[in-house]
Amino acid sequence: MDIKIVKVPAKKRKLKPADESKLGFGQIFTDHMFTMQYFEGKGWYDPKIAPYKPLALDPAAMCLHYGQLIFEGMKAYWGKDGSIFLFRPVEALKKLVLLEKDWIPRGSGTSLYIRPTMIATETAIGVHPSNAYLFFIIVGPVGAYYPEGFSPTKIYVIEDYVRAAPGGIGFCKAAANYAASLLASQFAIKQGYTQVLWLDAVERKYVEEVGTSNIFFVIKDELITPPLSGSILPGVTRDSVIKLARSWGVKVSERSLSMDEIVAAAADGTMQEAFASGTAAIVSPIGKIAFRGKEYTFQDGGVGNLTRRLYDEILQIQYGEKDDPFGWRIRIP
Ligand X SMILES: *Cc1c(COP(=O)(O)O)cnc(C)c1O
DSSP, collapsed to helix, strand or coil, labels residue 310 as helix
* Interatomic CA distance for residues 75 and 15, integer angstroms: 21
Write the CA distances from 273 to 172, 192, 300, integer angstroms.
27, 22, 10
Considering the complex, state which of residue 73 and residue 302 has its C-beta at the smaller distance from ligand X. Answer: 73
Q: Closest separation between CB of residue 162 and ligand X, Å?
A: 13
278 binds ligand X (CB under 6 A): yes
Residue 235 within binding range of ligand X, rule CB under 6 A: yes
89 binds ligand X (CB under 6 A): no
CA distance linking residue 137 with residue 124, whole number of Å: 25
Q: Is 279 in the site for ligand X (CB under 6 A)?
A: yes
Whole-number Å distance between alpha carbons of 137 and 7: 15
Calpha distance 241→328 (Å, rounded): 12
Residue whose CB is less far from ligand X, 121 or 277: 277
CB nearer ligand X, residue 278 or residue 287: 278
Residue 123 Cβ vs ligand X, minimum distance, rounded to whole Å: 29
Verify binding: residue 284, ligand X, rule CB under 6 A: no
User: What is the enclosing helix (H) or strand (E) of 65?
Assistant: helix 63-66
Choice between 99 and 310, CB closer to ligand X? 310
- Mark 204-233 with x for binding to ligand X (rule: CB under 6 A) and - for no binding: -----x--xxx------------------x
Nearer to ligand X, 99 or 282 (CB): 282
C-alpha closest to that of 204 among 166, 149, 240: 166
> Is residue 195 involved in binding ligand X (CB under 6 A)?
no
Question: Residue 99 or 174: which CB sits closer to ligand X?
Answer: 174
Rank residues 104 and 232 by Cβ distance to ligand X and give the closer one. 232
Cα(42)–Cα(115) distance, rounded to whole angstroms? Answer: 25
Answer yes or no: are the C-beta atoms of 185 and 211 closer than 8 Å: yes
Residue 202 CA to residue 204 CA, distance in Å, equals 6
CA-based nearest residue to 88, from 314, 291, 284, 323: 314
Q: Which of residues 56-75 bind ligand X (CB under 6 A)?
A: 73
Min. distance of Cβ 264 from ligand X in angstroms? Answer: 26
x-marked contacts with ligand X along 167-186 as a string, rule CB under 6 A: ------x-------------
For the chain, the C-alpha Rg in angstroms (whole number) is: 21
Nearest-approach distance from CB 328 to ligand X, in angstroms:
12
DSSP string, 19-35: -GGG--SS----SEEEE
CB-based closest residue to ligand X: 235
Q: What is the C-alpha separation between 155 and 196, in angstroms, rounded?
A: 6
Which span sits near ligand X by CB under 6 A: 43-51, 257-265, 272-280, 304-312?
272-280
Q: Given candidates 231, 237, 272, 299, which one binds ligand X under the rule CB under 6 A?
A: 237
Cβ–Cβ under 8 Å, residues 299 and 150: no
Q: Find the part of the chain contacting ligand X (CB under 6 A) among 8-16, 53-61, 262-270, 273-281.
A: 273-281
Distance of alpha carbon 208 from alpha carbon 163, whole angstroms: 9
Residue 317 within binding range of ligand X, rule CB under 6 A? no
117 phi/psi in degrees, rounded to 5? -140, 145
Q: How many residues bind ligand X (CB under 6 A)?
A: 14
Contacts to ligand X by CB under 6 A? 73, 173, 209, 212-214, 233, 235-238, 277-279
